[in-house]
Structure 1
Amino acid sequence: MAEKKPGLLERLLGGGQKPLAPETPPPLPPVDVPPAPAEVIAEHALAGPPEATVDYIEEVEAEVEEETEPPPAPAPLPERKQGWFQRLASGLKRSSDQLSGGIASVFTKKKLDEAMLEELEDLLIQSDFGLEMAAIVAGQLRRDRFDRDITADEVRAVLAGEVRKVLEPVAKPLVIGPGIRPFVILTVGVNGSGKTTTIGKLSSLLRAQGKKVMLAAGDTFRAAAIEQLQVWGERTGAPVVTGPAGSDASGLVFEAVTRAREEGADVLIIDTAGRLHNRDELMSELEKIIRVIKKVDATAPHATLLTLDATTGQNALNQVEIFGKRAGVTGLVMTKLDGTARGGILVAIAQKFGLPVHFIGVGEGVDNIETFAAADFAAAIAGKH
C-alpha cells in the first residue's frame, strides 16, 4: 500500500501538532483580487515591484532558502505546559549560560579590582549588550563594591537590575485602539526574520481574545509565503486575502484594507516581502505600500511592527534605524532569542532607540507569544532564575 503523502498543513508546519483551536474551520477559498481603482493603478503603472527584478531575485535567493523550506517538525509537547518564565529562561539559556560562565571565570578573587571590571566590560560587549550598558554595570560595581569582597552571584544581580532599568520603559503591550475598525497592523523586516510566523502567533493571540482577524498575504514575491499564511489562517480561523504570486503588493494591500472595512474585521494584519534595509528601491516600495493603505484609511497603519532576528547581532541596530525612518516603525518583535548567545542585543536596541518592545520569540509554538516583561527578561538573561 502506497504511503500517504503529507498534506499542505503537515508540510508547512511540520505535522504532528494539532491546531490550537478546539474546532478548526474548513479551509477558506482563496480570495480573487479584483482590479484596484484607477488612481491606484496609475500610481503603479510605470514599474512592477522591485522584488520581481532578476538582480534582486539572484541576491536574496540564498537568504530566503531557509524560510521557503517547510518549518521543522516541532518538539513533542510536554505533558504540562511550561509557564512563561520557564520557557523564557529555557529560550535564553545560551545567552545566560555564556554570561554566567564568563562572570564566574572573571570573579575568582575575593576583592573587586580594575582588571576584573575591564574583563566584565569585555564580556558584556561580546554578548552584544553594547558599550553603554557595559559601562553602566561596571560603573555601578566600581562605586559600590570596589576593593571589597564580591561574588559572581552578586555581579549577576547587579546586571539583572541594570538591564531591568533599561527595559522597563520600553516593555509595552500592543494595544488595539478602541473604536478603530479595522486596526491595521503592518509587519516589516528583512528576509528570514520571522514575519509570517509572528503574524500567525499574533493572529492566534488576538482570536483567543475574541477579535475578528483578517490576514493579508502582502509578500507576493514568494508563493511559499502566501501558502504559509493561508495555513496560519486555517489554523487560527482568520480569512486570508491573497493574490497571484508575483502580483503587485500595493494593489493586494489596497484590496485587503477595503475588504477588512467592508466585512467588519477588528484587526487586519498585513504581511510584506522581506527586504534588505540597505536597498533603497526596496524601501521605496515599502513606502508605496504605506501610501496605498492611507488611501483607504488616512490614519492607518495603526501599528507598524518590525521583526528582528536576534541572531543577526549588531546588524539589528541598523535595521531598526533604517526601517524606523522609512516605514515609521512603532514597535518591535524580537525573534529567535533561543538561537543565539547574544541576547543582550535587545538591551542595546532599547537603550539606543527607546522603541516599544511588544513581544519576544523563544520558540516555534503557536502559543509561544507573550507581552514582553522586562523583569522576567532581565532575570532570565542574567541567570537569576
Structure 2
Amino acid sequence: MTTNQGATTGETKRTGFFSRLKSRLVKTQRALGDGLGDLLLGKRTLDQDLLDEIETALLAADVGAETTELLIRDLTGRLRRRELTEARAAYRQLRQDMLDIVRPVARPLVVPAGTRPYVVMVVGVNGVGKTTTIGKVGRRLKESGNSVMLAAGDTFRAAAIEQLKVWGERIDAPVIAQHTGADAAAVAHDAMHAARARGVDVLIVDTAGRQHTHGGLMDELRKIKRVIAKSDPSAPHEVLMVLDAGTGQNALSQLKHFGDAVGVTGIALTKLDGTAKGGILIAIARQSALPIRFIGVGEDVDDLQPFSAEDYVDALLPEPA
C-alpha cells in the first residue's frame, strides 16, 4: 500500500511539473511552438518557403545554427524524396527529430550504492543559480534516502557561503565552510575528510563562479578537483555544470571552457521559465552529448526536476490531435 501511495505521489509531482513546464516555457513556445503550430498545422503547402519559415522559427528559439541546419536538412531531404507530402507530417517529423536529439542526454543523476561518499563538484559562472541548484539537488537526494553534506567552496563571495548555510538548514544537511577568502581547495579537503568520518552518502561541493574567461578561476577549479582526487582517486564522481538557459548560445561557450578545465560530466539547465531561448537545450544536447541531469523552471523547490526528453518536446511542440 505504501509503495502505491509513493508511486502516486511521484506521478502527481511529475504531472504537476509538466504542467508548470508547459506554462513556463511560454516565451519559447511563442518563438517556436506557436509559430510552428501556425505554420505546420494549418493548410499551408509544404514547400521551400515553409521550410525557410521553420528555419527562422528555430533560430528565434535559439536552437542554434548548426542544429537548425541539421533539422532543416532532414525535412528538406524527406520533402525531395516525397516522404513528406503535407505540413502536419512535417510537424510530426520535426518533433521526432528533436526527440532523437534530446532523448539520449536525458540521463538522471544516479548515486551508486557502493560509492561513499559520492562526490558531486558543482561549477558554473555567477548568476546561473548554482547555489540554489545545489540546495534543490541536495533536497532531492535526501528525499531518495541519501544523507547529504554541503561544502562551501565558493569562498570568493560571503553571500555564497551564507546562502549555502541557509540551504543546509533548510534541508537539514551539515555545511563545511571557512571564512570569506579562504582557500577553496582547503574547504574541499576538510569536507572530504568530514564526509568520510561521518559516513555521509553524498558530498556536494560548491565552487566559485567568476566569468569562465577568468584564468584564475579555472586554476582554482583544477586545484579543487586535484585535492578531492587525493582523498579519493575516483572522485569527484560527478562534475555538474549549472547553465542559465537565458544566456543562449553563450552557454555553449561556458560549457566548453569549464569542460576543458575540469571535465564536465553532467548539466543542470536553469531558468527555462524566463527566456525565449529554451531551444538552447536542443543545441546543448546536439553539440555536447553530455547528460542533462536536471532542468529548472522557477524558484520553488519542486521547480528543479530530472530532465524528461518527452515532456520537454511536448511542452514546445504539443502532439497534434
Same fold at TM > 0.5: yes
Quote the residue 2:292 is aligned against: 357
Quote the residue 1:131 is aligned against: 65
Quote the residue 2:75 is aligned against: 141
Query: Which letter maps to 2:55?
Result: E
Query: Which letter maps to 1:85?
Result: F
1:307 pairs with 2:229: no
Quote the residue 1:94 is aligned against: 27
Quote the residue 2:121 is aligned against: 186
How do 1:70-81 and structure 2 match up within 5 A? none
- SS at 2:230 equivalent: helix
User: Which of 86, 110, 114 is 1:150 aligned to?
Assistant: 86
Q: Distance in 2 between matches of 1:91 and 1:136?
A: 27
Query: Which letter maps to 1:165?
Result: D
Compute the TM-score of the two structures, normalised by the length of structure 2: 0.89
User: Which structure has more helix as a fraction of its residues?
Assistant: 2
Quote the residue 1:84 is aligned against: 17
- Residues 314-345 of structure 1, C-alpha deviations (whole Å, 9 max, x = no match): 00111111111101111000000011111111
Compute the TM-score of the two structures, normalised by the length of structure 1: 0.75
Unaligned ranges ≥5, structure 1: 1-79
Q: How many residues align?
A: 305
1:283 pairs with 2:218: yes
- SS at 1:215 equivalent: strand
Query: Which letter maps to 1:124?
Result: L
Q: Distance in 2 between matches of 1:339 and 1:275?
A: 22
Q: Distance in 2 between matches of 1:163 and 1:141?
A: 12
How do 1:162-311 and structure 2 match up within 5 A? 162-311=97-246
Q: Which piece of structure 1 moves more, 218-227 or 153-162?
A: 153-162
Supply the RMSD in Å over aligned alpha carbons.
2.0
- Residues 110-134 of structure 1, C-alpha deviations (whole Å, 9 max, x = no match): 3112122112112212211123332
The answer (yes or no) to whether the contact 1:156–1:384 under 8 Å persists in 2 is no
The answer (yes or no) to whether the contact 1:100–1:156 under 8 Å persists in 2 is no
How do 1:106-121 and structure 2 match up within 5 A? 106=39, 110-121=44-55
Q: Distance in 1 between matches of 2:304 and 2:177?
A: 25
Unaligned ranges ≥5, structure 2: 1-11
Q: Which piece of structure 1 moves more, 362-371 or 318-327?
A: 362-371
Q: Distance in 2 between matches of 1:288 and 1:335?
A: 26
The answer (yes or no) to whether the contact 2:75–2:94 under 8 Å persists in 1 is no
- SS at 1:319 equivalent: helix
Quote the residue 1:43 is aligned against: none
- SS at 1:214 equivalent: strand
Identical-residue share of aligned pairs (%): 48
Deviation, 1:223, is: 1.3
Q: Distance in 1 between matches of 2:302 and 2:49?
A: 45
